[in-house]
Amino acid sequence: MELDPLLLSRFQFAFVVSFHAIFPVFTIGLAAYIAVLETLYYRTDNPAWEKLSKFWTKVFALVFGMGVVSGIVMAFQFGTNWSSFSYASANFMGPILSYEVVTAFFLEATFLGVLLFGRDKVPKGAHLFSACMVAIGTFISSFWILSANSWMQTPAGIEINDGIVQVTSWTQAIFNSSLPYRFAHMALASFITGGFVVAGVSAWYLLKGRNIETSRKALKMTVIMLAIATPLQLFVGDLHGLNTFEEQPIKVAAMEGHWETRQGAPLILFAIPDSRNETNHFEIGIPRLGSLILTHSLDGEVTGLTSVPAEDRPPVGIVFWSFRIMVGLGILFIVLSLAAAWQLWRGRLEQSPRLLRALTWMIPLPFVAVLAGWFVTEVGRQPWLIHGVMRLSEGVTPSLTGGMVLLTLIGYITVYAVVFTAGLYYLKRVILAGPDPVESTPEDESARAKRPWSAVPAGLDDNAAKARS
């Protein structure tokens, strides 16, 4: 069998970028959380905030380390496997990726050293400042990389001369039409991912009766945040989808499983798309709802996949199902967050072991949702590398042989398997060890009572004390 360098390069990129993506999506949210904890510690001097911050910083360091090393691979992947794309798009991509390095990567990497190791070496304010710089750095970084990605989805501000991209307007190119939605969607996804991990781990400690004081604080904060962020994500995701409907209707057709262009299209809940016969099997849908969502009219026209030749369509099944996984998980997140917030409001969250257990089980799911979302948008862009401008087959490195790509693909899979397994193992150990215990002093008790959102009945402290002993 002839090894196809293009197909293998696509596998390789999908693998290394998916592996990489799970780390920043978590660390962006977690960095912001650590900055909040450091701020609270700075302002209140309550040692519980410091314990929490120290604990989550340990987790952050492990995850961020894996994100950094897998991110460096990405910086070179464009050149090794997609050199024709890199060369053609360098006038835009080069400056954007470089701005990411000089505005974000240095900020994160340098201040991370002070955040991790400088607590006793710098004044408290400087340590807080470092925590904030790391958090801000992660956001700036995601802005640039999402600008680059959005530009590949909805290119703007350029002209093509001799096959080379030339930028005619930097503002139009950077702030291209899908960037605001993608950025908001991704930022919320990071908060939700970080939030569910912190909430899940805190819920687990509460179930085990460990680290009660810190876990209660952490759970309360994250549940409130999640109850706001998860419904908001539904709204932002919808806006993002409408932008895609306008700019990349064929991607939306694949997401929705619409083969024919028609008015009053249904919302398909379940189907097995069949690309060869251009139809769906076992379709279950709600009539006209698809048109209503996309066009805000029951009779609105929705473009179908068959409106373009087969070679201009993405692989429908992956896009269709990834979209359903993402949306399904998103709805689950909303339900669970609101349920947890409701119980928190009633002061019964800690007496709801089933809810706490459910929160613990949630930990891996935001990662699945984020990857599914990226599959939708990236696979949905196929067969284009730069939508409407450059095809995948035009972007691949000409000198590449299938054997070379296969060799390095196996290499990356092996290396990442080792790193990921070890990383998860050490992460588990850090979490099992937990934050340093905070000794409750009368001073702490009075400080806590003053906090207005402390709705937990005082009796719980006794339970907690029993559980700990």
Q: Kindly list the residues in this chain that would bind other proteins in the complex (CB under 8 A).
A: 58, 61-62, 65-66, 68-73, 75-76, 78-80, 83-84, 86-87, 90-95, 97-103, 105-107, 109-114, 116-118, 121-122, 164, 166-167, 170, 397-401, 404, 407-408, 411-412, 415, 419, 422-423, 426, 429-430
CB of 8 to other proteins, least distance (A): 13
CB of 407 to other proteins, least distance (A): 7
- Residue among 27 and 337 whose Cβ is closer to other proteins: 27
- Residue among 76 and 270 whose Cβ is closer to other proteins: 76
CB of 79 to other proteins, least distance (A): 3
- Residue among 75 and 272 whose Cβ is closer to other proteins: 75
CB of 422 to other proteins, least distance (A): 6
CB of 196 to other proteins, least distance (A): 23
- Residue among 20 and 240 whose Cβ is closer to other proteins: 20
- Residue among 114 and 329 whose Cβ is closer to other proteins: 114
Q: Largest Cα–Cα distance in the chain?
A: 75
| Residue showing tokens 């894996």 | 66
- Residue among 425 and 453 whose Cβ is closer to other proteins: 425
CB of 93 to other proteins, least distance (A): 6
CB of 272 to other proteins, least distance (A): 38
- Residue among 75 and 335 whose Cβ is closer to other proteins: 75
